[in-house]
Amino acid sequence: MSTSETPSLSCVKCNSILDRATFEGLEVDLCPRCGGLWLDRGEITRAARLPEAELMRLRSLLTDVGGPPPVPTDSSVPCPACDGSLSEVVLGSVHVDYCGKCHGIFLDRGELEEALVAVRGRDKAASLQQMVAAAASAAPA
Ligand SMILES: [Zn+2]
Ligand SMILES: [Zn+2]
């Protein structure tokens, strides 16, 4: 195919074709059946910075699905975006499926909020470290 569009991904949990939705230029793939969310590398950080109105829209897309709740993956599953495989990692208080090869993550329905909190907390810690470093370097020699 000559199209440059990324092919549709299928859901890690229920195999449905993921829908693509855009929030202020941030393109995410979400499952219309189980409410799962696939985020490419770095997208969780961008999602954490979205305005509240856009996050509300994302939340409603994820929670309005009527399908069965996702089943936990007990072993490693193939990555929907590359030929790597997903393994469980802890992000804040939730376990998310993470691809060590393309660094994408898959969030089950309901995991987004916790993941955003974790990412925002890390952002805060990072800027605090930068502040400390800046303060230290500004000190007279
Ligand atoms: Zn699904
Ligand atoms: Zn991958």
List the pLDDT tens digit at each of the 141 positions of the chain: 445 566 789 999 999 999 999 999 999 999 999 999 999 999 999 999 999 999 999 999 887 776 665 565 566 689 999 999 999 888 888 889 999 999 999 999 889 999 999 999 888 888 888 888 888 887 665
- Nearest Cα to 18, choosing from 60, 56, 65? 65
What's the rounded Cα separation, in Å, for the pair 18 and 36? 9
pTM reported for the whole predicted model:
0.82
| CA-closest candidate to residue 109, choices 118, 98, 96 | 96
Looking at residue 4, the DSSP 8-state letter turns out to be -
- Tell how strand 105-107 and strand 37-39 pair up: antiparallel
Q: Can you give the three-state secondary structure of 29-56, one letter per residue?
A: EECCCCCCEEECCCHHHHHHCCCHHHHH
Residue 132 C-alpha to ligand 2 middle, in angstroms? 35
Output the pLDDT for position 29: 96
Instruction: Output the pLDDT for position 20.
Output: 95
Ligand 1 centroid distance, CA of 65 (Å)? 10
pLDDT at 58: 94
**DSSP code of residue 22:** E
Q: Would you state the pLDDT for residue 1?
A: 47
- Cα of 41 to ligand 2 centre, how many Å? 9
Q: Compute the distance from residue 76 Cα to the ligand 1 centre, in Å.
A: 16
